[in-house]
Structure 1
Amino acid sequence: MGWASPARDHALETLRTAVGHGAELLDVADVFGHGRAERLVGRLLREVPRDQVRIAVGVGRAPGTSTHPFAGTALRRQFEQTLENLGTDHLDVYALDRLDFGPDDEHLGDCLAQMRALREDDHVRAVAMPAPDPHHRNPEAAARRFVRLFKVIRPDIVTLRHNGLCPPIRLDGEYIADFTARQGVGLIVREPLALGVLSGKYDPRRPPRFGTGDSRRGHPWFTPDTLTAIEPELSRLRARFGPDPRILVRLAVQHCLRLGEHTAVVVGATDPEQAGAHHGPGPESTDEEARFVDETYRRMRSRLADRLGHVPGPARARARGARTALR
């Protein structure tokens, strides 16, 4: 569920199809559609047993009438509105969408106190915090801040933007998957398909155009330069595994799942057909095939760096005023 206001019947049928094909985790945020996305998920929850799906909700981008999303009791008020929108009495995951707690982290204490109270009262089953942006301009500084806040927040889960176009994230000298596994913390991976780019469905000669409210609009992954740079490696995957975009989707998702047994992957879909294809069963890659895919993605990142001077990502898009794609 993304930023644009969803067309209700179409989006609800997409959710039904995803759950019908085995999706167990629904990922939404309080700002998506200004609450309409949450209410849409609430309609689905009236149709399926509550324990059949897990609901993850992101918080931290909508200040409401407060001066900051985490100031005072703002988080608690937003949480109560989220429960009302969803029509449920608890969240499986309540995820901080960002680590901005105001100047000198002045709102961190308020935020943590409310998160811990919700956790202790069993209104929230797990608390999540976001990993550093893989495209951060200063990855070392971002990693240091994350590790410091990790020790304070003590999350149950880390949310991670990860796909074949994202540089690996290292924390205290180890990859983030190893860091979280060692800490006994789960991973929720977002954007495993690089917003659909890794499905191979976009032609660099005719780059896509997205409407107002679509978070992909203006994103650097959809420029002719980016699509042209990665096309030879997508062709390499097609030659090895076949031309069907659903195969490339499966390879991209399995690439993320190989981060470890503590990993869940959120795969987006814009219509029921996509939802069925993205969540349908498929054969597991062999170890040799997995190595081939990993090496191909590494070559993609290398091609982007050689052609553009960097690997483009959402952090650079935000610097130009575009909105980050979420789910």
Structure 2
Amino acid sequence: MTSRHAADDASRPTIPTRQLGATGITAPAIGIGCWAIGGPDDNLGMPMGWSTGANEDESLTGLEKAWECGARLYDTADVYGHGKSERLLGRLVAQVPRKEIVLASKVGYCAGTAEHGFEPRHMRRQLEQSLDNLKTDHLDIYAFHHPNFGTDDRWLQPAIEAMRTFRDQGLIRAIGMRGPHRFALDRLTTPPDHRGDKVARFKALFDKIEPDVLAIRDNLLTPSAQSDGIFSFADQQNVGILISKPLGQGLLTGAYRPDTQPTFGLGDHRLRKRWFQPDAIEIIDTGLNHLRAIVGTRTEDLISVALWACLDRSPNAIALAGFTSPDQVAMNLRSLNPRPVLEKIAAARKIMTEVQKQLDATGETILPSQPCDERHLPSTQN
């Protein structure tokens, strides 16, 4: 590719290759998460984007930098900036050999004027728009973005049939779904003791959807018992795994300091997240200080142990590292080498597990930071 940021092979980080289960899709073990480059956004009456980060030129530079450093899998969604993220990624796709890049997107959270985000005709329209945005004729992975299929799962079977049709028609190669996950609106409006068992819900959906790839949120702040179970399940089913938030959206890199109040603008999902509040950041920073004493004091040291703690979960897993600047992309990929010894990864898990327990003890992780306007909600997504 022609780029403003050419890198020779000698300077390219060494990234191990992974295969996503039985899909036949292979890619370097670190992929690029493209949520943040969608910018600030609102959906379902809530902030759902990122208010801080690069402008469009810097975002494109970051995508190009990732390619030059060896990343090949890029993950986005129709709702990230309501198409902005996909369109930016499409500018990279136009520059590189299509057969060498793995493209993943998602559907469901962007309902538009449809009755529901998983109404099949709406799904087809969204897929066609995503293909246009990404400047391609097919997606490698197309995923259900959430587990809400309407009242009494009205849209579940029609949505499954639509996905399988897309795959049969060659518009997508693999069907994806989230691991245990709550619909964003439920996390905000439903008391914890009324939400139901998300693991049981996931397994029921898994049996019906029969996905090829799972998107699993995992990082050093995720309880090990929870992670061990879902990764073991995925390996038993021989499905591919995309790990989201491996760096805790910057919380595990030391990007947030207790002596500096973080500022999030309108349309930033962190406005409603408990762990981005000052008291939680202080708890995390204390844990990171203990971790630095073991793995090293550089940001790269923290990134390395966080990424490898995720990659060690499964040989079928690729971790998705997001970015808000080109420098972050280069640092994340460069930090894979050298690989931390197993003892340091185990120590990191032990330290941050205690941090996670302290965070849970402080209360709910979702803050109703702004009222939810029910006029903006699809009638079937209650």
Give TM-score, length-normalised by structure 2.
Answer: 0.77
Aligned to 1:213: 267
Once the two structures are TM-superposed, the CA of residue 297 in structure 1 deviates from its matched residue by 1.5
Matched, 1:34 2:89: no
Give distance in 2, aligned partners of 1:4 and 1:109.
Answer: 33
Pick from 343, 350, 375 the counterpart of residue 295 of structure 1.
350
Kindly tell me the number of residue pairs found equivalent between the two proteins: 315
Once the two structures are TM-superposed, the CA of residue 169 in structure 1 deviates from its matched residue by 6.2
Aligned to 1:52: 100
Aligned to 1:89: 137
CA gap 1:203/1:38 in 2 versus in 1, 3 angstroms: same
Q: Which amino acid is 2:131 matched to?
A: L
Tell me if the contact between 2:275 and 2:359 (Cα under 8 Å) persists in the aligned partners: no
Once the two structures are TM-superposed, the CA of residue 305 in structure 1 deviates from its matched residue by 3.4
Q: Which amino acid is 2:119 matched to?
A: A
Aligned to 2:51: none
Local SS of the residue matching 1:264: strand
Q: Matched residues, percent identical? A: 34
Matched, 1:161 2:217: yes
Local SS of the residue matching 1:292: helix
Aligned to 2:337: 282
Larger relative contact order (C-alpha < 8 A, sep ≥ 6)? 2
Aligned to 1:305: 360
Local SS of the residue matching 1:26: strand
Matched, 1:107 2:187: no
CA gap 1:146/1:222 in 2 versus in 1, 3 angstroms: same
Once the two structures are TM-superposed, the CA of residue 320 in structure 1 deviates from its matched residue by 6.5
Give distance in 1, aligned partners of 2:321 and 2:355.
Answer: 21
Matched, 1:235 2:283: no
CA gap 1:58/1:33 in 2 versus in 1, 3 angstroms: same
Listed one character per residue, the Cα deviations across residues 28-57 of structure 1 (whole Å, up to 9, x for unaligned) are 110112212111111101111112221110
Tell me if the contact between 1:230 and 1:303 (Cα under 8 Å) persists in the aligned partners: no
Tell me if the contact between 1:143 and 1:170 (Cα under 8 Å) persists in the aligned partners: no
Give distance in 1, aligned partners of 2:209 and 2:309.
Answer: 29
Once the two structures are TM-superposed, the CA of residue 231 in structure 1 deviates from its matched residue by 2.0
Give distance in 2, aligned partners of 1:257 and 1:72.
Answer: 35
Once the two structures are TM-superposed, the CA of residue 4 in structure 1 deviates from its matched residue by 1.7
Of 46-55 and 214-223, more deviation after overlay is shown by: 214-223
Q: Which amino acid is 1:14 matched to?
A: G
Pick from 198, 201, 206 the counterpart of residue 150 of structure 1.
206
Aligned to 2:234: 180
Tell me if the contact between 2:271 and 2:369 (Cα under 8 Å) persists in the aligned partners: no
Local SS of the residue matching 1:176: helix
Give TM-score, length-normalised by structure 1.
Answer: 0.90
Once the two structures are TM-superposed, the CA of residue 317 in structure 1 deviates from its matched residue by 4.1
Tell me if the contact between 2:295 and 2:305 (Cα under 8 Å) persists in the aligned partners: no
Give distance in 2, aligned partners of 1:318 and 1:90.
Answer: 38
Give distance in 2, aligned partners of 1:142 and 1:162.
Answer: 15
CA gap 1:153/1:320 in 2 versus in 1, 3 angstroms: farther
Of 28-37 and 1-10, more deviation after overlay is shown by: 1-10
Of 79-88 and 213-222, more deviation after overlay is shown by: 213-222
Once the two structures are TM-superposed, the CA of residue 110 in structure 1 deviates from its matched residue by 1.5
Once the two structures are TM-superposed, the CA of residue 214 in structure 1 deviates from its matched residue by 2.8
Tell me if the contact between 1:195 and 1:216 (Cα under 8 Å) persists in the aligned partners: no
Aligned to 1:4: 39
